Structure 1
Amino acid sequence: MNRARENRWLVILGVISVVFLFGAPEVLELFTIINLTTAIALALLALSLGLVWGYGGILCFGQTAFFGLGAYAYVVAAINFGGTSWAVVVAILVAAGFAAVLGYFVFYGRVSDVYLAVITLTVSLIFYNLMRRTSGPEYKIGDALLGGFNGINAPPLNVPGDASWFLFPEDLFYVAMTALIIGYFGCVWLVRSHFGRVAVAIRENELRAELIGYDIRLNKLLLFTIAGGIAGAAGVLFANGVGRVTPDLFNLYNAALTIIWVIVGGRGTLIGPILGAFGMFYLTSTLGQQSSINNNLVLGVILVIFVLLVPRGIVPSVIDLWDRRRGHRGAMAGQGRRRRRRNRSATEAHDEG
């Protein structure tokens, strides 16, 4: 897709997003708005993985580690601070900071991509098992009891500077949707910048990028840290959407589901993972309302179908199909113009004769 057409689509997408931001609470029921807020949080998580995997070539199988850390850090900080104004900042910094520490040892240790995926997944499962064993009253951080497998109730977001003014579900939807819009267009700006182009170059050929003179380890670490911070912000929104954080945020099911969102939507795009997260969220919600079909079986079939038949995902495949159709119409139009010119030339030659 050329830059001019991409800019047009970005403008259209921005307009649709703003209309949805202000229009959805006016026409949808409260229950739907609450579900949408949760879906938006998961879409932000998918965006973080789409950034680090699609543009950095870093398969982070444990992106839920930063997601869960952000959620837990938000709740613990909010309980101890008595408000959420600084808790959001703390959550994002904790998730990004942990991603930076983990990424430092992984990238500067020259760990291969396969082992990186295993390490991040292992870290996420370690958090899952660790948090499940914090049920006793002795497991607390300040005034916040960790709660073990039962989790912790999440304090609702308040207006910055006023801990007594809590946001209603409609207000939380505005915050979540605004965060998703800012996150998406921020990532678009990032991948279009010099840093983003270097990240893509490293993804395509690490050795060549390093021989040119780029510090591939530092670039990977920065991208990994940014994605961790975005996942932490998603954890904050998810904690507010469901009202509770539990160790299940770190489990294998959610880790695999995040990968499926990106594969279905389209790796190498930013809008693809977001659409994949929304679509899969409502699919799993619908499947959860019945008991005749196993959810995991359906997800497994979807994963196999996309890996074998649509490996690039929905968005890149649709773009390719659109380009081929436009190219075919352009070729047909060109043939028609050439045919008309030949007929006109033949007519003129006949008249002259």
Structure 2
Amino acid sequence: MNGRSLNRLGLAAVAIVGLAFMFATPRLAELDVVLDLTVYMIMAILALSLALIWGYGGILCFGQSAFFGLGAYSYAIAMFNIGDSTVPFVLATILPAAFAALLGYFMFYGRISDVYLGVITLTVTLILFNAINSTAGPEFHIGRARLGGFNGIPGIPPLNWPFSKGATIDLEGMFYLSTGALLLTYFGLRMLLASQFGRIIVGIRENERRAELLGYDPRRYKLATFTIGGALAGFAGCLFANWGNFVSPTIFGLAQSAQIIIWVIVGGRGTLIGPVIGCIGIQWLSAALGANQPSGGSDLWSKIFANVPLIFGVILIAFVLLVPKGLVPTLADLGQWLLRLRRERKQRGFEPQQAE
């Protein structure tokens, strides 16, 4: 079986498992489990946005939470002023994309190096966090929407079907929407990366100078990649605001930015399914550790396992040092090694002797 056949088989497996999961889960799981899985699907879309920017575009971005938060706040503010979610839903994707395009233009056409790209995007995220966090007074409002400062914006109206204000989407509908959106995002990015545009951005990641000598403008392709990633993060932020009917400045926080990086590192850069698996696995672990925190435990191990950021830090260091490629690429390499070993044994005509 060649690589193309394996690729098609993998895509078919993802589609079958994803659709089965989407339609079977609400019928088999309790409502609280469905609610948890919904946010996992939303965050997986956010992970895919960084997988595109960093894993394939080679752009180290610590600002995905900025676009994520802008999408959530754009939806919340527009929803309180408009009422019908059709326009707010579109704005929650367009505004982060426009902000990413503006920021990316100055970074890429200013020929900022990779390290400074990370510093700038992280700084922008912290600026947004402090700016939104300082809007607690009643004078800070946009139309009928009060920003709320560190208290956030509660009671955000839910999504409704396009141009049908009364037809709102319930919790089960949010699960279908989030899971379907994740599948569409995954396969849409696979198609994008299989196109000429995708091959060019990977080539720029591998050797920017060579791509430039071949006649391609790396700045334009990086800007397009950065803008698409910002739009996906904003879209995920809109879904997140609907999931909890609440948004606060912590969405811009440093912890949120670091988590997105950890998802991609654990799952594996240069893949799409890897960050999805890393995101869902880390979120599940975080929820499990939070639910099983001992009450009043005073021993050392109880305190260690109660410290979720410490656990995440250990996981990050372990993967960077021991599994630098990430989980999915390492498993893929292991599978290829086993297949190659089996093929070599067949070519040599080696057959194990059976015990008599």
TM-score (norm 2): 0.93
- Structure 1 runs, 4 residues or longer, greater than 4 Å off: none
Offset from partner CA, 1:294-317 (integer Å, 9 cap, x none): 111101100000000000000000
Deviations 1:179-222 (A, max 9, x none): 10111100001111100000000000110100110010000000
Equivalent in the alignment of 1:215? 217
How many Å separate the matches in 2 of 1:189 and 1:25? 29
* C-alpha separation in 1, matches of 2:78 and 2:55: 32
8 Å contact kept, 1:37–1:237? no
Displacement of 1:4 in angstroms is 2.2
Residue type of the alignment partner of 2:119? V
C-alpha distance in structure 2 between counterparts of 1:168 and 1:175, whole Å: 10
Mapping of residues 45-64 of structure 1, within 5 Å: 45-64=46-65
Q: Equivalent residue for 1:329?
A: 342
In the alignment, does 2:194 pair up with 1:192? yes
Q: Secondary structure at the match of 1:54?
A: helix
Residue number in structure 2 paired with 1:164: 166
Whether the 8 Å CA contact 1:184–1:270 is kept in 2: the answer is yes
Distance (whole Å) between structure 2 residues aligned to residue 142 and residue 179 of structure 1:
30
- In the alignment, the residues of structure 1 paired with residue 42 and residue 51 of structure 2 have an alpha-carbon distance, to the nearest angstrom, of 14
How far apart, CA to CA, are the structure 2 residues paired with 1:145 and 1:320? Answer: 52
Matched letter for residue 103 of structure 1: G
Give the equivalent residue in structure 1 for 2:257.
255
The DSSP-based 3-state class of the residue aligned with 2:86 is coil
Instruction: Structure 2: give runs of 5+ residues left out of the alignment.
Output: 295-301
1:256-314 deviations in whole A, cap 9, x for unaligned?
00000000000000010011000000101111121532111101100000000000000
How far did 1:3 drift?
A: 2.3
| Contact 1:35 1:241 (C-alpha < 8 Å) held by counterparts | no
What corresponds to 1:270 in structure 2? 272
Matched AA of 1:163: K
Question: Post-superposition shift, 1:337?
Answer: 6.8
Cα distance in 1 for partners of 2:268, 2:351 equals: 38
CA distance in 2, matches of 1:71, 1:148: 14
Q: Which has the larger radius of gyration?
A: 1
Distance in 1 (alpha carbons) for counterparts of 2:211 and 2:351: 45
Aligned to 2:42: 41
CA offsets, 1:212-268, max 9 Å, x none? 100100000000000000000110111111221000000000100000000000000
Return the alpha-carbon distance in structure 1 between the equivalents of residues 337 and 350 of structure 2.
20
Which amino acid in 1 is paired with 2:333? D
| Kept in 2: contact 1:50–1:270 (CA 8 A) | yes
The equivalent residue for 1:309 is 322
Contiguous gaps of at least 5 residues in structure 1: 340-353
Name the structure 2 match of 1:238: 240
What is the Cα deviation at residue 338 of structure 1? 11
Match of 1:205 among 201, 204, 207: 207
Contact map agreement 1:71 1:91 (CA 8 A) in 2: yes
> Residue 249 of structure 1 aligns to which amino acid in structure 2?
I
Q: Give the letter aligned to residue 125 of structure 2.
A: S
CA contact (8 A) 1:261 1:280 kept: yes
Distance in 2, Cα, partners of 1:54 & 1:3:
21
CA distance in 1, matches of 2:162, 2:211: 44
In structure 1, C-alpha distance between the alignment counterparts of 2:30 and 2:268, rounded to whole Å: 31
Secondary structure of 1:311's match? coil
Does 2:3 match 1:2?
Answer: yes
Q: TM-score, normalised by structure 1?
A: 0.94
Q: How many residues align?
A: 339
Query: For 1:158 and 1:34, how far apart are their aligned partners in 2?
Result: 18
Name 2:87's counterpart in structure 1. Answer: 86
